[in-house]
Structure 1
Amino acid sequence: MAGDLLNLTPPLVRRPEDLLLAGQSLSATLSPLDNSLAVFVTNASSSQPARRPPDEEQPIYFPGIDAVPSSERRLFITDTLVIFAAFQNLIKTSRTQDPEWIQSEQNLTVIRKLAIDYVNFIKECWIHASQPAPRPDGPLQFSGDHYRSLYTCFSLFVVLYLPEPGYEEAPVGEELMEWLNIHFIEPSTEEGDHLSSLKSPWEDETFWPYLTRATLRGLSKASVFFFKMLSGHPSEDLQHLAETTASIISSQPRLQNFAAERDFAYASRRWKDKVKGLRVEMDQVPEGDRDDDFDNWWDRLSDIVGILEGRGDIVQRVCEDLGADWKEVCAAWGVFVDPRLRRQDLPDVVDRVLDDMPSDPTNGEDMVHTALFAGKPVDALLHASRLDRWLSAHLADIMEPLSLITDDPRDEISSRDQYILAYAEYLHSDPALWRITVDYMYSCGDVGKERGDEVLIRVPLRLNDKSSASNGGDEGKIRAGNVVGVLKDVNQTCFDYRREAARRTVCRIAAQTLVREKDYGLAVSYCSSAEDWQGLGRVVDRVLDEYIISPAGFAQYASDIAPSLQNLNIHHPSAQGVFVHRLMFAVRYSNFQQLRVKQDLQNAASDLVAMFRDDVAPKSWWGIMLYDAVDLLQYRPSLLFSASGAAELLGKLEEIFVRSSQGSGSDYLDILTRTIPGGGHKAALDRLKTVRLALARYFARSAVLSV
């Protein structure tokens, strides 16, 4: 995908006008699971029927906005997350302890260390990706050259914007040259090996370019070595000048060898005086002695001496002749032209050099380098995002606390958060990376937290994966009562980031899934954890519905939810009573059914009356419960109900008949009606007449036995 363009292969439609003629158009919708799309053909207008046959097959494409990270890319993502998390922890801890935390030398040292950790890890990935094929983990998604680009950009950022504490005002030239020599090696080692094997290397056409490049790059050992080889040159003038030049190059002052910049500056001035002396000696060489049979050695040496003199025009011209770019000119400028060049002065040099040697606008890496050199971190982030969203996200994460990027207070989202969220959206292309995705999102203020919540509540819990359950996997353990696997991870993530609303939503989703699988006990526990009392009521209703299917099955399901009733009373004493009341009824009614199965009829009768007296039973279940009492009323030889208990049953029965005659039969008879095939309220009342008859006989037996 490039910009807003999706390339579908094969094309969904050949010509747009075909869709227009058919009265159709293209539509797309985002996937709730990741950042992929579903692209399909729909009618252009709901009021206008399509001209295509209704049974014609229309394909649906599922293109991804981003390519799913491959194995090597996923390793890169997961390992750099450790550094990102450490940086977030540092910022969080430091800001709570001291509002001026960024001014602390200790914190700046840690930030620099973490940035260097990024650099080192990118280097490892670059080396790994540069290994020759074949690769056991499959083809690379990103080439070794791509990781090399990340390596050069991040390391340059450290050099320019994260110097060692106390060295912010120190000259930067030598550090830039070191960075250049590490990442853009010139001259090559092979060239040096070739020239050193020659008896008269100056006869080779690459000799002087090699020696000039080595001097320009500050490679003093290589330069001195080849200058000493000129002791065998036929020109005595060159022999003498080469010996002097080698001595000057080997004695060039280096900032790292001085305790104070003032001493370095003094040594640099004295060293420049020696270079001036060398120039005087060169000018004394007669014009006719400045050539040998292969080249004008004097002009070649003059370029090198011009570099040592710090003449900017010569440095730039030599770089152009050698095929070098603007970066090499800027680095050499800080070493030879202005050895005291500071970071804040570097943009002026860059502007001057770029006028004659512009950067490559088609090369993302070069554009990032240009922006960093020019002191434009905002532009650097823009180019970095086009190179790799990982790079822009992690650079922005460090730039913000360093105040390298500033935002309008009226903006809803900061620049740093925009780049982090863009990277997180890329990660969202792989649903398996949801933990990492939300880690980045939750670091981005309210907007990021809301997006993270949306990701969390859509993580597939896989609770209905039968194969995993049968194999003893995480889903099987969840059904056994152990919160493990994805569900545990999601819950833990919610706790870690204090996303209580998201956690409750996830628990409600888990409860709904478990209800479909008839795991009512766990469903109730997740409803209570989410404090979803309406959901709890729906679960209980499903359990009660099991009675209509099989009273024996209902008893088992209800026993599974019994422990949840005690937990609710302990952990949620303020839970909404109407729903807990319904749960209490399901448990007690299940206990009543189990007593009947066990033939503990005396206790069963007592429980039945107690449920009425305690006002536990919903009115819609009175008819079922009264019909259950028929066998107990007809039991011989003893009476199972007391006179008051039987009277309680009679009172409930009469209320049903009276209220039904007044038009409220639905409140009392709907559940009983469902147990009668093809029956309505009249059939339900007819069935309850058997209860009335059983009560009449019971009262008659009671009167006879009492006499």
Structure 2
Amino acid sequence: MEELDGEPTVTLIPGVNSKKKQMCFDWGPGEMLVCETSFNKKEKSETEPGCPFIYIIRKDIDVYSQILRKLFNESHGIFVGLQRIEEELTGKSRKAQLVRVSKNYRSVIRACMEEMHQVAIGAKDPACGRQFSSQVSILSAMELIWNLCEILFIEVAPAGPLLLHLLDWVRLHVCEVDSLLADVLGSENPSKHESFWKLVTILVLQGRLDEARQMLSKEADASPSSAGMCRILGDLMRTMPVLSPGNTQTLTELELKWQHWHEECERHLQDSTFAASPHLESLCKIMLGDEAALLEQKELLNNWYHFLVTRLLYSHPTVKPIDLHLYAQSSLDLFLGGESSPEPLDNILLAAFEFDIHQVIKECSIALSNWWFVAHLTDLLDHCKLLQSHNLYFGSNMREFLLLEYASGLFAHHSLWQLGVDYFDYCPELGRVSLELHIERIPLSTEQKALKVLRICEQRQMTEQVRSICKILAMKAVRNNRLGSALSWSIRAKDAAFATLVSDRFLRDYCERGSFSDLDLIDNLGPAMMLSDRLTFLGKYREFHRFYGEKRLTDAASLLLSLMTSQIAPRSFWVILLIDALPLLEEKEVVFSAEQTYELMRCLEDFASRRPVWREPGVQQLQEDVENTKLEMLRLALARNLGRAIIKEGSLEGS
């Protein structure tokens, strides 16, 4: 894409003196923070900036419009549908399908425009009303441009049908005539209505000759003196050669018929057939394509492209697409007459008539306030194979660049970001990288939103992003003391360190309360408990309690001994494990074998030898005394159990 021809638009921030103060900027994906610094550009620095505020500048405010959000939502479905049927688009059906998609886009624009128009009418605040009206004008211009691009680039209408399409284009975007027609026909005497001749002239300018002829018949009925002239002009309107969609005549035949008809119109004008009626004479001149007569109706034509189509209708009905730009430029020059400069819309339409697609996209990108229009139009034209040769300097093509920009704007909104995901998906070169960068910046304000983001990442195998989101949610859960949720998220993130941290919190809570919370989660850890040693210990220790509760004492004893000898238990928990052995040692039936009892004794002595020595008296000394008492009880229990186990095992061997 070429560089911009002019300087970018300057946006003034209220209260900020950028001429005097140095500015501080911080760019984000959808917003920018701006503030004054305490540094002057020339003078000495001040201790404080003159404007103490930090401003948030959004590059795409249209995503916050309730009505435009409907445009974004509806067009998203059309866009995704187009990408999915790409493989099915072949042969003749391809063009018809693409035209249908284009019409769907236009219907969404028009529906949005009509809703915006109703809101503008009902607005109580004049400023809001003006803002909505301005938006209606922009949407109307968007549909106008899109419709023309559809005719020239997608339908690719040849000479003959081209003019019919252009006539429909003008009629669609000049709607005032229908209300005027209803007003005139609704009066008691239509031919005497003050806007009668204005209406007939507009109908002729739009090529609606059948309706114009019907209006002339009313004039003939009301005014016998002009009945003959009305009949002659009506016959000229009726016999004007037009290439209708179902007509099989060739362009050569049409041109010959049209030439004869044109000569007949000229003869009537030279014979002063309509001299007695200036209105009818003016209409005859218009039908002859007389430029002076057409320019006299500038007020009724409204714009130069209406003038262009009327001029072609009555002067060059078989115009070829390749010649359009010549007539377009001359029509613009004639219509403006050097009195004013072309508007941005004029430049866009001229570029379209020149079949310069890239200039159309460039001008639209500059003129419009968001990327919706250029992104979707470019994507559609790309499916028409019209942009294949145009790559940008930085690795992507024009279609992908514009889709990436549009999707980035959607990610600035709290809910529209979900639409942006699909646009990134259909950008094969840079889409995934962009999605990864943007999805990490989505604020996970609720767990429901976090689950949506997580599901999107998992569907696309975005492992790092899944891990990052799970870590964030795990941290939030820990801060809210929701240990079960925190453990679940840390397991999902496959974060061993965080799983260890949460497991420690579970064990600490057990020490304080004597019971576990979130038993369902811990009981169903399954293979996930292998994520970290501490998590394994937590799961197995809970399993020990379950065995004990179910009176599976032998299994409980084996598991408890395994936990002590495997070295996976935190040292602070050893004393609890040893004391947990006491009830098993005191059972009537021998639970621990002699060998297991020796292992328990070794663990006990190992723990006792590594115990810290309390340096200060007080509570810590009291805790040590309690612990010593328990250990002594454990030694006695172990000694008794050893004797019982040896006797039992000896008697079994003897038998």
Structural mapping, 1:151-230, within 5 Å: 151-163=143-155, 168=158, 170-185=160-175, 189-190=179-180, 211-228=200-217
Q: Which residue of 1 aligns with 2:247?
A: 259
Deviation per CA, 1:349-368: give whole Å up to 9, x if none.
Answer: 22333343459767444443
Distance 1:42 1:604, change over 3 A: farther
Distance 1:492 1:380, change over 3 A: same
CA distance in structure 1 between the aligned counterparts of 2:589 and 2:618, rounded to whole angstroms: 34
Contact 1:215–1:304 (CA<8 Å) still a contact in 2?
yes
- Give the residue type in structure 2 aligned to 1:29: D
Distance 1:548 1:280, change over 3 A: closer
Q: Which residue of 2 aligns with 1:372?
A: 352
Q: CA deviation at 1:436?
A: 1.3
Give SS of 1:431's match.
coil
CA distance in structure 2 between the aligned counterparts of 1:44 and 1:637, rounded to whole angstroms: 85
Q: Which residue of 1 aligns with 2:76?
A: 81
Q: Which residue of 2 aligns with 1:507?
A: 470
Distance 1:185 1:537, change over 3 A: closer
Deviation per CA, 1:438-490: give whole Å up to 9, x if none.
Answer: 22232223423222233334444445xxxxxxxxxxx5xxxxxxxxx434433
- Give the residue type in structure 1 aligned to 2:431: G
Q: Which residue of 1 aligns with 2:650?
A: none
CA distance in structure 1 between the aligned counterparts of 2:241 and 2:271, rounded to whole angstroms: 27
Q: CA deviation at 1:116?
A: 0.7
Structure 1 residue 149 and structure 2 residue 149: aligned?
Answer: no
Within the candidate set 545, 561, 573, 2:505 is matched to: 545
Deviation per CA, 1:326-357: give whole Å up to 9, x if none.
Answer: 20232124322222223333223223333434
CA distance in structure 1 between the aligned counterparts of 2:51 and 2:513, rounded to whole angstroms: 45
Distance 1:430 1:704, change over 3 A: closer
Q: Which residue of 2 aligns with 1:421?
A: 404
Distance 1:691 1:606, change over 3 A: farther
Contact 2:477–2:483 (CA<8 Å) still a contact in 1?
yes
CA distance in structure 2 between the aligned counterparts of 1:651 and 1:234, rounded to whole angstroms: 126
Deviation per CA, 1:193-240: give whole Å up to 9, x if none.
Answer: 559969896997x7766544432321213432454466589997x765
Larger CA deviation: 615-624 vs 449-458: 615-624
Distance 1:244 1:528, change over 3 A: same
Q: CA deviation at 1:186?
A: 6.5
CA distance in structure 2 between the aligned counterparts of 1:558 and 1:624, rounded to whole angstroms: 24
Q: CA deviation at 1:604?
A: 5.3
Give SS of 2:525's match.
helix
Distance 1:642 1:494, change over 3 A: same
Larger CA deviation: 320-329 vs 595-604: 595-604
Q: CA deviation at 1:408?
A: 2.4
- Give the residue type in structure 2 aligned to 1:73: L
CA distance in structure 2 between the aligned counterparts of 1:50 and 1:200, rounded to whole angstroms: 77
Q: Which residue of 2 aligns with 1:479?
A: none
Deviation per CA, 1:309-334: give whole Å up to 9, x if none.
Answer: 455x4576455585643202321243
Distance 1:353 1:53, change over 3 A: closer
Deviation per CA, 1:491-515: give whole Å up to 9, x if none.
Answer: 4433555545544443343333333
Q: Which residue of 2 aligns with 1:391?
A: 373
Contact 2:117–2:132 (CA<8 Å) still a contact in 1?
no
Structure 1 residue 434 and structure 2 residue 417: aligned?
Answer: yes
Within the candidate set 130, 139, 155, 2:117 is matched to: 130
CA distance in structure 1 between the aligned counterparts of 2:253 and 2:346, rounded to whole angstroms: 36
Structural mapping, 1:283-682, within 5 Å: 283-285=270-272, 297=278, 304-310=283-289, 313-314=291-292, 317-318=295-296, 320=298, 324-357=302-335, 363-385=343-365, 386-389=367-370, 390-405=372-387, 406-408=389-391, 411-463=394-446, 485-497=448-460, 499-530=462-493, 532=494, 535-551=495-511, 553=513, 555-557=515-517, 559-568=519-528, 579-592=531-544, 605-613=557-565, 615=566, 617-618=568-569, 620=571, 623-625=574-576, 628=579, 631=582, 641-653=592-604, 655=606
Distance 1:515 1:272, change over 3 A: same
CA distance in structure 1 between the aligned counterparts of 2:155 and 2:209, rounded to whole angstroms: 25
Q: Greater relative contact order (Cα 8 A, min sep 6): structure 1 or 2?
A: 2
CA distance in structure 2 between the aligned counterparts of 1:261 and 1:611, rounded to whole angstroms: 95
Q: What is the total number of aligned residue pairs between the two structures?
A: 624
Deviation per CA, 1:671-703: give whole Å up to 9, x if none.
Answer: x99xx9997xx9999998777755654565457
- Give the residue type in structure 2 aligned to 1:224: R
Give SS of 1:256's match.
coil
CA distance in structure 1 between the aligned counterparts of 2:539 and 2:562, rounded to whole angstroms: 13
CA distance in structure 2 between the aligned counterparts of 1:602 and 1:196, rounded to whole angstroms: 101
CA distance in structure 2 between the aligned counterparts of 1:270 and 1:634, rounded to whole angstroms: 116
Distance 1:625 1:617, change over 3 A: farther
Computed over aligned residues only, the root mean square deviation of the Cα atoms, in angstroms, reads: 4.7
Distance 1:591 1:649, change over 3 A: same
Distance 1:209 1:439, change over 3 A: same
Contact 1:393–1:419 (CA<8 Å) still a contact in 2?
yes
CA distance in structure 1 between the aligned counterparts of 2:404 and 2:514, rounded to whole angstroms: 49
Give SS of 2:24's match.
strand
CA distance in structure 1 between the aligned counterparts of 2:574 and 2:458, rounded to whole angstroms: 46
Q: Which residue of 1 aligns with 2:652?
A: none
Give SS of 2:568's match.
coil
Within the candidate set 121, 124, 127, 2:108 is matched to: 121
CA distance in structure 2 between the aligned counterparts of 1:523 and 1:391, rounded to whole angstroms: 44
Contact 1:170–1:261 (CA<8 Å) still a contact in 2?
no
- Give the residue type in structure 2 aligned to 1:414: N
Q: Percent identity at matched positions?
A: 18
CA distance in structure 2 between the aligned counterparts of 1:62 and 1:72, rounded to whole angstroms: 23
Deviation per CA, 1:620-640: give whole Å up to 9, x if none.
Answer: 456445653585598598876
Contact 2:98–2:384 (CA<8 Å) still a contact in 1?
no
Q: Which residue of 2 aligns with 1:90?
A: 85
Contact 1:310–1:337 (CA<8 Å) still a contact in 2?
yes
Within the candidate set 266, 269, 289, 1:282 is matched to: 269
Distance 1:30 1:431, change over 3 A: farther
Q: CA deviation at 1:115?
A: 1.1
CA distance in structure 2 between the aligned counterparts of 1:600 and 1:120, rounded to whole angstroms: 72
Q: CA deviation at 1:433?
A: 1.6
Give SS of 2:390's match.
coil
Give SS of 1:445's match.
coil
Q: CA deviation at 1:247?
A: 0.4
Give SS of 1:131's match.
helix
Give SS of 1:29's match.
strand
Contact 2:390–2:398 (CA<8 Å) still a contact in 1?
yes
CA distance in structure 2 between the aligned counterparts of 1:273 and 1:611, rounded to whole angstroms: 107
